[in-house]
Copies of this chain bind each other. A is one copy, B any other.
């Protein structure tokens, strides 16, 4: 199925790893789309109408249809434009494994990100959060070794479902490294993931989709201040 750019609208935000996932999936399929930048402080009527349950980005609008939740959108894109390069593996078991790691990343990894970015200044707590993050990386390094079989991506020779899901968080990992002054995906500890991260960021379907780190650092610090103020006000 071909798509005109007017058929496809992405309601996203430059800062959102979840919107980045959709952009990469659209690039893999070579689809043109209109990108709408949402302001989370003042969401558009289109967003509120298109995702009345969660009122969150990203939303993909395909003709008259709205699809919400980034992983669901990526699967939708893969299924509708099934003649393009595959995002999910063709084999049902490999697909289950890909979905397992996507769900793991959205659950465990995301929780670590939230703890680290939203946590306070308590050093013991911080240390614990970084230890949890390291545990997740150990798992992913191991999973990556199993999945890729010597190839450059979790998806084999091409960026696939796990790559998109985890790779879209790479800028946020860099932000955490900047803010905290430590390397979390170091070449020594996680050689395979560090190598993968380089492959990912350089791939043609990814180039241009990842936010600039400096800009994302400022954005994240502003968010952290807002959270801290809200926490203080709630006390």
Verify A80–B68 contact, CB threshold 8 A. no
Interface membership of A222, Cβ < 8 A: no
- A80-B90 Cα distance, complex, nearest whole Å: 11
Within 8 A of B (CB), among A43-100: 53, 62, 65, 67-69, 72-73, 75-76, 79-80, 92-93, 95-96, 99-100
Among B53, B79, B96, contact of A139 (Cβ-Cβ < 8 Å): B53
Residues A72 and B139 in contact in the complex (CB < 8 Å), given A65-B93, A79-B95: no
Verify B53–A72 contact, CB threshold 8 A. no
Interface membership of A157, Cβ < 8 A: no
Residues A103 and B72 in contact in the complex (CB < 8 Å), given A92-B80, A93-B65, A96-B67: yes
Closest B residue to A139 by CB, please name it. B53
Nearest CB on B from A145, distance (A): 14
Among B53, B75, B100, contact of A96 (Cβ-Cβ < 8 Å): B75
Between-chain CB contacts (< 8 Å), 10 pairs: A53-B139, A62-B93, A67-B93, A67-B96, A69-B99, A72-B96, A72-B99, A72-B103, A75-B95, A80-B92
Question: B-contacting residues of A (Cβ < 8 Å)?
Answer: 53, 62, 65, 67-69, 72-73, 75-76, 79-80, 92-93, 95-96, 99-100, 103-104, 139
